[in-house]
Amino acid sequence: MAVTTDITTTRPATIGELKASGWASRPVKLEMRENLIRRIQSGESLFPGIVGFEQTVVPQLVNAILSQHHFILLGLRGQAKTRIIRQLVTLLDEWQPSLDDTYLNEDPLAPISPKGKRHVAAMADDTPIVWRHRSERFHEKLATPDVSIADLIGDIDPIKAAREKLDISNEDVIHWGIIPRTNRGIFAINELPDLQPRIQVGLLNILEESDIQVRGFPLRVPMDICMVFSANPEDYTNRGNIITPLKDRIDSQIITHYPRTRDEAKAITQQEIHNKSEAPVELMRDIIEEVSVQARSSEFVDQNSGVSARMSISAYENFLSNVEQRKIRLGEPDYYPRICDVYAIVPSLTGKIELVYEGEQEGPILVARTLIGKAIDAIFAEHFPVPRKGKPDPDKPEQENPYEAVTDFFSGGRQLTISDEMSHDDYRQTLYSLPGLSAIVERYWPTDDERELLLRMELVLEGLFHNNVIARADDDMAVTYGDLFSDMLKGMGGE
């Protein structure tokens, strides 16, 4: 049985010492399998930081590794595919012995290159070995149209041949590519469909026969490697294809997905944002995550492209920065957000959503603000009653209108302006000046924190606007609320 623990004190330095230590070779996929089994048995987290995949993606990953498969992660952008792939390295032994002075991380007990074989034949048990950390046994390559077989597999190196005065037919003139240099390790190719079909053909032997061939050399080099791929479903039709023989040789296809609950999405965002010093405000976190939810069902957004989780992360960072900017500018200790701060996330949205034709006509900024509005309305509807619209039905008993005091305030021709530039005292005074607003919050979503009360009062105003009960005019980061009927008259040119 292989010795899997790190030999921390006296690592063998030669092949003879390695044999005496009891170390035994094993394939990399078996190594990953056995280390995974130990991790499961010990109750360790299999993929730390991967949220929302515990019951879906992770079990499929575990099955693929236990089955000793090559596999592909298939999913839209921003679904943690690369993060998962990079965590696979933790399933390798921490240290592994290798022949010194060769390029292919060769097993000291079973060399594969001509140079390695000559080296061991000449020095036998005195052959020196080195110990490689598992981080050296993982390599990845982003598939781009300019990637060549020489990059991945290898090619003749004429400069090496001239420098060492070797015949061009000598096997020692081969310059090994990145895949053979990852021998006894994990090699990942991201965005596989972007790899040209003729280059994909070069991977067939590795996946099925576990060997490679270089140019015209009568040389078949056995590879011990775990191949992992990632791809976006859109790539199958829009940018490229995975050739059928290659798909057939990839043992497992694992489908990833976006967070399925708002709590999962919030956990991912909080984990990834740069500014973790300030306590998060749940209401604002809910609104920002809801923006991504709305974008993933919007008719203006290309759903085949997806809406990355990176959008919520960038949006929340921009939102926090806007709050911080106010704190710095006004010199106030208060770091509490306002609903109007959420419009600072627009630059984080416009570059991260692909618009369909209708969305392009509307414009990315308008689409972004529309998504924010829908998110605010969705959160408002979770906590407050939907405002009654139109005239009451005379045949039905009259229903109470909890927003009557607010609408009466605006119907008298008054307006109310809130901006991210107001001091906290002005912000507080402005909201309390509106009759009945605080009473609505205290009735339907009460809180003992006055700052949270003010935030929820502002949410009510936004909710009434998005339900076409009151009007709102935007002026950069300031918003002015007013009477809907008066606003409609102005739009028709009335006084």
> Highest mean pLDDT range out of 350-354, 421-425, 457-461?
457-461
HEC letters along 376-430: HHHHHHHHCCCCCCCCCCCCCCCCCCCCHHHHHHHHCCCCEEEECCCCHHHHHHH
Answer yes or no: do 243 and 279 share one domain.
no
Give the model's pLDDT for residue 278.
Answer: 67
Give the model's pLDDT for residue 155.
Answer: 78
Phi first, then psi, for residue 488 (nearest 5°) are -65, -40
Domain assignment of residue 10, yes or no? no
Contact, 276 vs 285, CB < 8 A? Answer: no
**Which residues form the domain of 460?**
404-491
Answer yes or no: do 143 and 231 share one domain.
yes
Domain assignment of residue 280, yes or no? yes
Please name the residues in contact with 183: beta carbons below 8 A apart, sequence gap of 6 or more. 104, 105, 106, 112, 223, 224, 225
pTM: 0.85
Average pLDDT of the chain is 87
> Which residues share a beta bridge with 29?
none
Banded pLDDT at 277 (limits 50, 70, 90)? low
Give the model's pLDDT for residue 477.
Answer: 72
DSSP string, 37-82: HHHHHHT--SSTT--S-TTTHHHHHHHHHHTT--EEEE--TTSSHH
- Of 255, 273, 295, at which residue does a domain stop? 255
Please name the residues in contact with 310: beta carbons below 8 A apart, sequence gap of 6 or more. 78, 352
Answer yes or no: do 152 and 100 share one domain.
yes
Distances from the Cα of 104 to the Cαs of 16, 36, 158, 320, 402, in angstroms?
21, 25, 20, 48, 74
AA letter at 482: G
Please name the residues in contact with 154: beta carbons below 8 A apart, sequence gap of 6 or more. 174, 175, 176, 177, 180, 212, 214
Answer yes or no: do 347 and 248 share one domain.
no
Tokens (6 digits) for 239: 């940018």
Give the model's pLDDT for residue 237.
Answer: 45
Answer yes or no: do 231 and 270 share one domain.
no
pLDDT digits (tens, 9 = 90+) for 345-391: 999 999 888 898 777 777 899 999 999 999 999 999 999 999 876 55
**DSSP SS3 for 215:** coil
Domain assignment of residue 392, yes or no? no
Answer yes or no: do 268 and 221 share one domain.
no
Answer yes or no: do 468 and 379 share one domain.
no
AA letter at 49: G
Question: Is residue 187 over pLDDT 70?
Answer: yes
pLDDT digits (tens, 9 = 90+) for 204-245: 888 888 777 776 666 678 889 999 999 988 655 445 688 999
User: What is the share, in percent, of the chain residues with pLDDT greater than 70?
Assistant: 87
Contact, 104 vs 201, CB < 8 A? Answer: no
Tokens (6 digits) for 108: 């000291």
Answer yes or no: do 311 and 184 share one domain.
no
Give the model's pLDDT for residue 493.
Answer: 53
Answer yes or no: do 116 and 188 share one domain.
yes
Tell me, what DSSP letter sits at residue 301?
B
Instruction: For residues 63-73, give the mean pLDDT.
Output: 96
